[in-house]
Structure 1
């Protein structure tokens, strides 16, 4: 189970494990102890969750066992700190944590965490003492390996086994830097600095950090979005909601000792720059165009975010390791100019693409790209007649597209992570006359149906909704409603699956973000976990096991409730097989689609590796082979497009990795294929499709 926390680095925090550093409340030379106030806070949190969470769980001995495992796994997912003896010692709590939680007894929380701190110090001392011997301490010609993902491994039998693991982990760190062409002296200095910094940070934990980690091990058993925020985290969360600081516009998550990119904010600096992408790991941060890179491996997420934040217009350097680099460890440095994401930059945009059908006349297809579901609430409340919202802007864009005599319309919701629920409802109303749009079910089992009551229909012609894995929440409500009404075809990838609703509850000290409701489509199925399944699927470079609700630990399951009455606008299903076959015929001849499919296969092959070699010649050969494969794929795509071929793999570093990220990029092959599908649908079904 992955230890995960999220940050929105446009500015601030979404949720995180420990809070800020400060003077630790300690006993006996660094032993952290609970403060009395947290006993009452823990009982309040438990009461809130037992009474208000969408999912009811019995807090009993079985829950206690899961809680102990979850807490220890959250602290030590890589099984690099605790021993089997530690696990045996803490087994006394397997049937006690449920009672301790109800009574506000936090003894186990601090006892286990203090052991974790002890083992972490021992590991860092081992790393530093080994580095004192220089890189000669490692035999890079020896045939040995290190397991990449250790979350399913047993606890180390004893200290000797732990030290053997630590030695391999340090050897891998040295070898990864060698593969990035760093010299041994620089490697030793950098790693010494990394571990010395981590050692200093251990002394900065305070009792509120431990309480937050422990309570989130509890809340995390309910679902990944229910979180306790201590006062510092609550402050960061409020900053995020106000969009008051500048950053790069990325949602980050903490995974083991790395900071990983979950998604990019549409129209944000990172999205615009085009080189950072989901699943990348940030291992270093530098200030300015030429500033020194600060190693951030092992840092807490809020401190990494603090480095990435900065004044608008300033440059931040990020040292990143791509998902493909996981097996060879090499990194690259990119530069992003910090900025604030403004509402107008996230506003819907439109364009027209002329598409030639199979032996038929050219069709004019309108494209409306919607980065987020937005509404200027304050301007609306102030009575501003020109306030901006997704629905108002899309209605205006549809009117402009009609004047351009379009034959069909594509709504592009790729990378749209959601936003205003009311805008998803009213925008659905632009494409239907009246009717239900989404159901919301509460923890009490009460179901509320949100409806479009406006009988006007801004657009009644042929329609496709384009989605991908990063389309979430409000995007899924809109896409699901269009699909249920058979109002349009959904094309792209399975969406994120964020189908829950949270609220903030004050608890002294801090706040509790509590999952209280779930979204359901009007056909009865939830958008939670499963998301929206497209009628016609495209290849994707993102792995659903890495990104999406189903990738999060203890995500609430997909389920169904009763359907509500609604009138379908036709029957698209009979045309799907023929449309899919025509799409497959084109895709099989497309260099761009072949590039996506083959690149995904290459990534899956690398990801499937369970062991990483610690032999330098083997690793260099693997890195060279991987680089050669990537270069061949890229040049094959370039050759088909008549572009200049790249000479070396290093030339790829100067190319934006988000190949089709410009809005609206009419050369985007996925968008072009979407319009071809729509033209096919128009030509196939037009005689039987009713148009107003």
Structure 2
């Protein structure tokens, strides 16, 4: 499963305001947990951080974890200087990836530990990692103290007419040589924060008060950091040296399993994680409150949380994940307001999103069908679409022996039969943003379209390869034998990749859309004396022998994508296991589409060159690529305002060009577009609402499928097969 995550389908409307910049490496907070409702002691400025010491339980746990990692992890590694050096680099990166706290002298001092961390783990001596952690906490207190001493008197003297720039990406920057260099960096950061708030129409007095409260709050939490926080940061550097999905969970995080491990969140239907000092949206639950509202998107960063429509928004920058979650959760029917930095914001501009809390119902996440009409000569061809947001099953209902328990396969079989009764010419399986789910359901769903045969291979750490499903568990016959297209994107993962890969390997259908996520590993959770270990122990392979890991499934016809592959997907993760191959399983390909692909691609290209939605998508992609390549941001207020205005005007021009070509009303501003989309999402809940704007990517998939039908003359024999299957 994709980190135990499912992701929402993105239609053409939503892509217009969406730029995902997710980093799947989950950063650990440097601040201690503390109940939101409790009073946190106020820390004094310049008060030194009290060093923490490791415990005997942590020594035992580190040895237990090391034993499991070396003995049971899929990727066999030896504990030596090379692994020690890798752990060292990951530890430094997890503590100070932006190179904003440590001095060059700190790093020079720490270098003595680079090739000794393996010995520390073997001997149970955690002194070195705790020396580094304690130093970090001291540097954090120094930086926060510096910021607090700047406010408000010194900050009032900042010159916003000066041509200064702040670096946006310091991953490869040189470490600061002295405190003066760090002071200058953090002065620029503070100046940028003030400028952002000014551009959000806040008064200087309110800005200074807000920032002083924010930094004091962070300083208070820094002084509350304990030995458990330090141990977890180090142990996750150790586990991530094996692969990014292997992780250590402390007892506190084990108790808070839903937030820290499965990343589930009740109340608004969103999955969150901590990234540096921000709380970032990882995904939205299909049909959840946030998904229905339509304004919150993956990779948005939450900076504040307010209750109801009028209560003051609480600044949550620097808060722990569990503390932010406590503020967002609430009773069903109540409203929470989130102040966010949108994922596509070029200058950290914030906006407010209001969401009514609710529970997500299983039936709302179920597979759904619709029919689209594709012009073909002088007639319209009916193409069925089945949208599958996740691979689900009612485990409790199945265990209780209920005959009507819900599952992806059962629902899709019913929908396929309904579509055939409506005389569709072909079917599109929409797996966009389907992050996976039940492996059994992926196998069973494939069985609806392929008559007996292996679907996936699982290779374990001991080298044993299991071919699934076992022949005895498969039914003879299939539900549908007509033309199929599978639509994917970068957020289609795990079980989705297993299904799409099988359809492609068997030649059963054509795959279109975006390259999938590439999550092809299997994890188990192992109990420890002090916490838990999530361990990668197996890997998925297609029947062709190709792994789904890292590479994912590459469509036969690619669509333009707004997803940044350098930020999203398995290949974007540090230490991700590599793509490789094993021996193919015994299977018989049904059809070879290669002979028709050149013609299909040419027809597709000819259409999208004049398609307003695809032109818009290409323009947006070009703009986002340009914004991603920016390495710094101006601190000149006049220039910043002009850049923001130019950026918004360019986006508005793209949108109005699209609207004009489609005969739609032009917009006066992007704010109008946001208001329209909010109204559209509200209307979507009204059964009497008018039909929404068609999904351009889905329509083009229908065009490709009809082209394929004309080229290959695939007979639609689904009805006969379905009757045999049902018996």
TM-score (norm 2): 0.89
1:670 and 2:697 matched: yes
Distance 2:283 2:168 in 1: 23
The corresponding residue for 1:589 is 610
Cα pair distance change 1:188/1:321, threshold 3 Å: same
Cα pair distance change 1:518/1:666, threshold 3 Å: farther
Secondary structure at the residue paired with 1:514? strand
Q: Does the 8 Å CA contact 1:130/1:137 hold for their aligned counterparts? A: no
**Unpaired runs of at least 5, structure 2:** 9-23, 41-47, 686-690, 722-727
Deviation at 1:302, TM superposition (A): 2.6
Distance 1:83 1:261 in 2: 31
The corresponding residue for 2:245 is 225
Secondary structure at the residue paired with 1:498? coil
Out of 393, 400, 403, the residue aligned to residue 382 of structure 1 is 400
- For structure 1, which segment, 223-232 or 421-430, has the greater mean C-alpha deviation from structure 2 after superposition? 223-232
Secondary structure at the residue paired with 1:323? coil
Q: Does the 8 Å CA contact 1:277/1:657 hold for their aligned counterparts? A: no
Q: Deviations over 1:187-241 (max 9, x none)?
A: 1111111101101111221211111111001101111111111112112225789
Secondary structure at the residue paired with 1:454? coil
The corresponding residue for 2:444 is 426
Listed as ranges, the matches of 1:284-683 within 5 Å are 284-326=304-346, 328-357=347-376, 359-451=377-469, 453-656=474-677, 667-683=694-710
The corresponding residue for 2:44 is none
Q: Does the 8 Å CA contact 1:268/1:341 hold for their aligned counterparts? A: yes
Cα pair distance change 1:226/1:472, threshold 3 Å: same
Listed as ranges, the matches of 1:53-202 within 5 Å are 53-133=73-153, 135-202=155-222
Secondary structure at the residue paired with 1:441? strand
Secondary structure at the residue paired with 1:176? helix
Q: Does the 8 Å CA contact 1:496/1:548 hold for their aligned counterparts? A: yes
Deviation at 1:134, TM superposition (A): 5.1
1:262 and 2:273 matched: no
- For structure 1, which segment, 170-179 or 420-429, has the greater mean C-alpha deviation from structure 2 after superposition? 170-179
Cα pair distance change 1:690/1:458, threshold 3 Å: closer
Q: Does the 8 Å CA contact 1:442/1:517 hold for their aligned counterparts? A: yes
Q: Does the 8 Å CA contact 1:273/1:336 hold for their aligned counterparts? A: yes
Deviation at 1:242, TM superposition (A): 9.7
The corresponding residue for 1:21 is 33
Distance 2:5 2:370 in 1: 33
Distance 1:609 1:465 in 2: 35
Distance 1:302 1:551 in 2: 26
1:39 and 2:59 matched: yes
Q: Does the 8 Å CA contact 2:5/2:436 hold for their aligned counterparts? A: no
Distance 1:630 1:599 in 2: 8
Secondary structure at the residue paired with 2:188? helix
Q: Does the 8 Å CA contact 1:411/1:466 hold for their aligned counterparts? A: yes
Distance 2:401 2:263 in 1: 23
Deviation at 1:573, TM superposition (A): 1.4
Cα pair distance change 1:302/1:553, threshold 3 Å: farther
RMSD, aligned α-carbons? 2.6
Q: Deviations over 1:152-201 (max 9, x none)?
A: 11211111111111111111111111122211111111111110110111
Secondary structure at the residue paired with 2:677? coil
Task: Show structure 1 runs of 4+ deviating over 3 A.
Answer: 5-10, 13-16, 238-245, 655-666, 687-692
The corresponding residue for 2:14 is none
Distance 1:564 1:218 in 2: 35
Q: Deviations over 1:278-311 (max 9, x none)?
A: 2222221112122211112222223222222222
Deviation at 1:29, TM superposition (A): 6.7
Distance 2:5 2:600 in 1: 40
Distance 1:599 1:157 in 2: 40
Distance 2:573 2:271 in 1: 15
TM-score (norm 1): 0.94
Deviation at 1:686, TM superposition (A): 0.8
**Unpaired runs of at least 5, structure 1:** none
Distance 2:171 2:137 in 1: 19
Distance 2:667 2:382 in 1: 35
Cα pair distance change 1:16/1:159, threshold 3 Å: closer
Q: Does the 8 Å CA contact 1:666/1:672 hold for their aligned counterparts? A: no
Q: Does the 8 Å CA contact 2:49/2:223 hold for their aligned counterparts? A: no
Q: Does the 8 Å CA contact 2:525/2:534 hold for their aligned counterparts? A: yes
Q: Does the 8 Å CA contact 1:274/1:657 hold for their aligned counterparts? A: yes
Deviation at 1:665, TM superposition (A): 6.3
Secondary structure at the residue paired with 1:203? helix
Q: Deviations over 1:44-98 (max 9, x none)?
A: 0000111111111222112222222211111111111000100111111112111
- For structure 1, which segment, 476-485 or 645-654, has the greater mean C-alpha deviation from structure 2 after superposition? 645-654
Secondary structure at the residue paired with 2:238? helix
Count of residue correspondences = 681
Deviation at 1:623, TM superposition (A): 0.6
